[in-house]
Chains A and B, each alone.
Chain A
Amino acid sequence: SQKIEQNSEALNIQEGKTATLTCNYTNYSPAYLQWYRQDPGRGPVFLLLIRENEKEKRKERLKVTFDTTLKQSLFHITASQPADSATYLCARPSRNAGNMLTFGGGTRLMVKP
């Protein structure tokens, strides 16, 4: 199966700290990974895409890394704020479904003031 796994336990951190979320995948190595943010009851919103030949990608306070040896992507939020509290999803293209995305279960982040 084409598994993509995220820590299902919520991550609680203090405001101002760096949050680090993990996404692990099995079997084939995807050409890219995407990260999304989802607020309760709402549709996911795209944040970042990182390709396999990019070790790191940044966007404002967000940073994503992609380690094809470890089969892992890390998602960092620096100087976290309570407004960053949400569920974060990673996704990779499905190998046999028209390149559509397969999503991990998401990690819920809670940033406390």
Chain B
Amino acid sequence: EAQVTQNPRYLITVTGKKLTVTCSQNMNHEYMSWYRQDPGLGLRQIYYSMNVEVTDKGDVPEGYKVSRKEKRNFPLILESPSPNQTSLYFCASSLQGGLYEQYFGPGTRLTVT
């Protein structure tokens, strides 16, 4: 089954404790991206990647890191989480960028206390 998986689905952590949210897709897609979704602000792009070892900032990259060492994986790293990073996070992939439909993961609900 073609899908995007994220782990963990739910995470409660404390300020400053480094964490990684994993994302994996099995569709051999070139493009992958991370979004956060907050009430009243909609989906906002954090980082995106057009291929292995190619990443770039989206609209809200501050406080986040990503890496793309393999085509299928695109982890999101929060080196020192803060409460304002409490949000619902989605990973997405598409064949070759915006012209193609994006497949979204199930989401990771992160709470930073």
Contact = CB atoms under 8 A, between A and B. Distances in A.
Interface of A: 8, 31-32, 34, 36, 41-46, 49, 89, 92-94, 97-106
B50 interface: yes
Interface of B: 4, 31, 33, 35, 40-45, 48, 50, 56, 58-59, 88, 90, 92, 97-99, 101-107, 109
Contacts of A32: 98-99
B50 A98 contact: yes
Contacts of A92: 98
B99 A43 contact: no
B97 A98 contact: yes
Contact of A45 (B48, B59, B104, B107): B104
A32 B4 CA distance: 24
- Max count, chain A CB within 10 A of own CB: residue among B41, B42, B58: B42
Contacts of B98: 32, 34, 92-94, 99-101
Given A103-B42, A104-B42, A106-B42, A98 B105 contact: no
Contacts of A46: 101-103
A100 B45 contact: yes
B42 A105 contact: yes
Contacts of A44: 43, 90, 102, 104
